[in-house]
Amino acid sequence: MIKFLRENVYAAGFLLLLRVYLGWEWMTAGIHKLTGGFDATGYLKGAVANPVADKATGTLVYPTFNAFLERFAIPNAKIFNVLIPIGETLVGLGLILGAVTATAAFFGILMNFMFMFAGTVSTNPWMLLIGGIVMIAGANAGKFGVDYYLLPLIRKVFKREGKAGKGGKPTADGAKPNTPAPI
């Protein structure tokens, strides 16, 4: 199944539909927050006041995440008021355009998990599932998008940098590559 998702042209067409749908959901949520005066402070305080807890014992299910919210997120809510809407919008654009698709899906998944750790279910499991499929598909998810052109350029740049110092030319220290360094 993974091979099908990563290599099949029909899967790439199906993934195009999935990623555009998911991207639209992320982008519209982000733009709504950018234009609607988003403030995460109330949400963060609510997540700390009503944490995800075991019903039988009352113990926190995600104590580390709660500590993160209480000690870092709430005191720095202004940063989150900017990062969340911009992040949602960029994830959406990346998925819609098929630009660095797997990376956009990864960051969308990361945000979905954060929302779920805070106790918000909503559409997060559905978006998590679709984002996981898109991320697992890798480059094939962006085959009908910017990635078709962008990923070969990125590979070319990294191959060029990886070949620096090879081919028998002396390196900066004067030694030829692939020869043991003097002890």
pLDDT tens figures, 30-49 = 999 999 989 999 999 999 99
Q: Say if residues 20 and 96 touch (Cβ distance below 8 Å).
A: yes
Read off the DSSP letter of residue 70: I
Nearest to 53 by CA among 41, 39, 69, 65: 65
CA atoms of 2 and 66, how far apart (whole Å)? 35
Give 79-128 pLDDT, tens digit per residue: 999 999 999 999 999 999 999 999 999 999 999 999 999 998 899 999 99
Dihedral sign from CA coordinates of 103, 106, 107, 108? positive
pLDDT over 90 percentage in the chain = 80
**Is the model's pLDDT at 173 over the cut of 70?**
no
Averaged pLDDT score across all residues of the chain: 90
Q: Say if residues 162 and 133 touch (Cβ distance below 8 Å).
A: no
Rounded alpha-carbon distances, angstroms, from residue 157 to 49, 98, 161: 49, 20, 6
Q: Say if residues 8 and 143 touch (Cβ distance below 8 Å).
A: no
pLDDT at 1: 85
Mean predicted confidence (pLDDT) in 53-71: 94
Binned at pLDDT 50, 70 and 90, residue 160 comes out as confident
CA atoms of 51 and 67, how far apart (whole Å)? 11
